[in-house]
Structure 1
Amino acid sequence: MFSGIIADVGTIECTENCDGGLNLSVVTRSLGIEDVQLGDSIAVNGVCLTVVKIDGNRFSANVSQETLNCTVGLEVQGNRVNLEKALRLADRLGGHLVSGHVDGVGEVVEFSDLVESWKLSVRVPQSLAKYIAVKGSITINGVSLTVNQVEGDVFSVNLIPYTLEVTTLNELSAGDKVNVEIDLIARYVERIMQARG
């Protein structure tokens, strides 16, 4: 589990095709991977990946074809990516509970300067729109955010300067694709409602 509070922005140093998937190597500046062990999880742009190799300030992970099919941003060498180590039970939960299992790919439809903040609007697949609510939580490229507006299949969030400074969200523009994870609670509520008929 993760919180959606980004600890560092890393860079995809190299990618290598492997058995239909991808071997990925990421360089981090300040994630602090000295306590990371093989088999630990790190969220890369919101995607939970298992560490299979550690070399100084670099870690490697295997990405399955299934993961590549339902996410964006992992296959491009040189891409800057948001990074977060998995939570420990004693950690603060500053964002919200994030699984690192991306629900779908959204498209940026607006990224505009509101002077004191920025407005980011994203269109999601219709199948995800029903889970997104005003004042609810959403994860974009691994970043925990609060939904401010929902209109059909488009939702908007406000980004403060600090968030833009410490994540890759400041690099987005209209037409860009992003990884979206809906709130875990919304998924379970729907499941319970279905079971009750």
Structure 2
Amino acid sequence: MFTGIIEAMGELKKIDHEGSNVHLTIDSPITSELKIDQSVAHNGVCLTVVNIEGSEYTVTAIDETLQKTNLGSLKTGDFVNLERAMKLGARLDGHIVQGHVDQTAVCTEAKEHDGSWTFTFEYDPSLSNITIEKGSITVNGVSLTVVNSQVTSFSVAIIPYTYEHTGFKQIKLGDKVNLEFDVIGKYVARLHQINS
């Protein structure tokens, strides 16, 4: 379980293919605090640490993960948002995030507004995921509040701190991002489908 509050950025140093699996080696400022078999969210995708060497650690992504997220399009030198699993009893500063990406979206607009930014993302509504105005959404692992909720798109407002300390400063028009919709909203939508 995660909160969507990014702890650090990690640089992808190495990509190794093994069958349909991909091993991602990441250099990060939190590596010294990690343990093998620990869960870490990478752009919102929960992956298990399988190796640690110095300031670098390795995680493995299976084919399903690569198909459903933006991890398969990463290149060496790219940066990813990192968050370790939350501690029971700690403050929940973002919202309840599972680290299970529901689908991807494409950035269709990025505007600066005198020190803050608005990003708009378009997604495929056929998967029955929805946003609501002022509801929670996770974009590349970052817990955000939805503004301008539409059937196929939504926007988020980014403050300077979030812009500087997450991968938002690297997102360009046409880039693919990972989305995890609010877990409570997903259950409500599913119950509505069943009862309709």
Band of TM-score, shorter chain: over 0.9
Q: CA deviation at 1:191?
A: 2.8
Counterpart position of 1:85: 84
Counterpart position of 2:69: 71
8 Å CA contact retained: 1:129, 1:153: no
Name the amino acid aligned to 1:13: K
8 Å CA contact retained: 2:106, 2:176: yes
Unaligned 5+ runs, structure 1: none
Q: CA deviation at 1:130?
A: 4.7
Name the amino acid aligned to 1:16: D
8 Å CA contact retained: 2:129, 2:181: no
Counterpart position of 1:55: 53
CA distance in 1, matches of 2:133, 2:89: 29
8 Å CA contact retained: 1:105, 1:177: yes
CA distance in 1, matches of 2:154, 2:14: 33
**For residues 111-150 of structure 1, what are the structure 2 equivalents within 5 Å?**
111-128=110-127, 130-150=129-149
**For residues 142-181 of structure 1, what are the structure 2 equivalents within 5 Å?**
142-181=141-180
Q: Secondary structure at the match of 1:38?
A: coil
Q: CA deviation at 1:34?
A: 3.4
Choose 120-129 or 50-59, whichever is displaced more: 120-129
8 Å CA contact retained: 2:129, 2:186: no
Q: CA deviation at 1:35?
A: 3.7
1:48-71 CA-to-partner distances (Å, cap 9, x unmatched) read: 000111122211111101100011
Q: CA deviation at 1:127?
A: 2.9
CA distance in 2, matches of 1:133, 1:152: 9
Choose 82-91 or 72-81, whichever is displaced more: 72-81
RMSD of the alignment, in Å? 1.5
Counterpart position of 1:13: 13
TM-score for the superposition, normalised by structure 1? 0.93
1:157-183 CA-to-partner distances (Å, cap 9, x unmatched) read: 100001001001011121111111100
Q: CA deviation at 1:24?
A: 0.9
Does residue 28 of the first structure (1) align with residue 28 of the second (2)? yes
1:131-179 CA-to-partner distances (Å, cap 9, x unmatched) read: 2000000011110000011123110110000100100101112111111
Q: Identical aligned pairs, as a percentage? A: 39
CA distance in 2, matches of 1:95, 1:189: 20
Q: CA deviation at 1:196?
A: 4.1
TM-score for the superposition, normalised by structure 2? 0.93
